[in-house]
Chain A
Amino acid sequence: MKICVSSIGKDKNSQVDLRFGRCPYFIIFDTDTGKYKAVENRGMTSSGGAGIAAAQTVIDENAEVVLTGSIGPNAMDLLKASDIKAFKPAGSTVEKAIEEYGSMQIEEICEAAPAHFGMGNQNRRGW
């Protein structure tokens, strides 16, 4: 099966990116072959609907599991519609996150975070 991890870099030693919609890469780990593959996240360069584009990237790679920090409402709906489960690793690197999932000592992400949560402007109050 394939596990997809949101990542800052292109290899297994890269830091996990806690953002799902706007991470630069997804690292796809195939448990059958033990191989890692880096894929560019289409959500990173989208002007809007980043979560949707990111989730579509994951779906297109046929992953069954996502490891990330948090997921927005649109992405969550899309992942659930595809029966993809999500978990939040405590581990800092992609490889450590995958080990955590393997040991099943990992927190499941069952609900979406607020929209635009990963954009770092929670304290903005508008006009």
Chain B
Amino acid sequence: MLTIADHTFRSRLFTGTGKYASAQTMVASIHSSGSELVTVALKRVDLKHKTDNILRPLLDLGVKLLPNTSGARTAKEAVFAAQLAREALATNWVKLEIHPDPRYLMPDPVETLAAAEQLVALDFIVLPYVHADPVLCKRLEDAGCQAVMPLGAPIGSNKGLKTETFLDIIIEQSRVPVIVDAGIGAPSDAARALEMGADGVLVNTAMAVAADPVRMGRAFQQGAIAGRLAYEAGLAPTAGRAMPSSPSTRFLEILS
């Protein structure tokens, strides 16, 4: 069971709602993944064009909604977005996400830390999305964030745990849950993150743009379960040399 703030989750797989071909596929994929926490974004209403209502089907799934501040370029905009999200969705949980660079979507550490401090003071449960910077993660924890969300690789890149070395350090040092978010491209990446001791993973693109998002949701569910189970079972150590599985026998020497 994963506990963040006052909420306990049975699934360590969090999911996003972006990039799905349709709302129906999105709901079916998330349902098959067993995810209990799902991110959503906010945007200005286009008075001329109605958007698909994704909330009703998500609420029917019984998942917890985590609004993000995607689109914010500064701490001020992120705080504004979080306050809007709190009113829109009646939740004080927020995924703090500030990435002004459109090419790599790298999270701005300075704005993120500033926003986190303000949001904690405004009684938000803050889950900040950041680079896998152990120092920054500690600063965010000290500022009162209830989890940290270091990236594995750039958003949507599906490159896996490029930051593995630093995720290790963060996992070792963090006293709040570590949720690896962004770049997880395959169930094996999710499994690896959890085997390393991460408390959870957040996956969006890898499920949404898979050839079969519903089956991929199930694959990710199983990957996450396997990874956590392996972590709890205690992974065998790696060795620099071969370690034979059976003792060396001398019987073959009779033939020479």
Genuine A/B complex: no
Interface residues in chain B, defined as those with a beta carbon under 8 Å from any beta carbon in chain A: none
Binding site for B on A (CB under 8 A): none
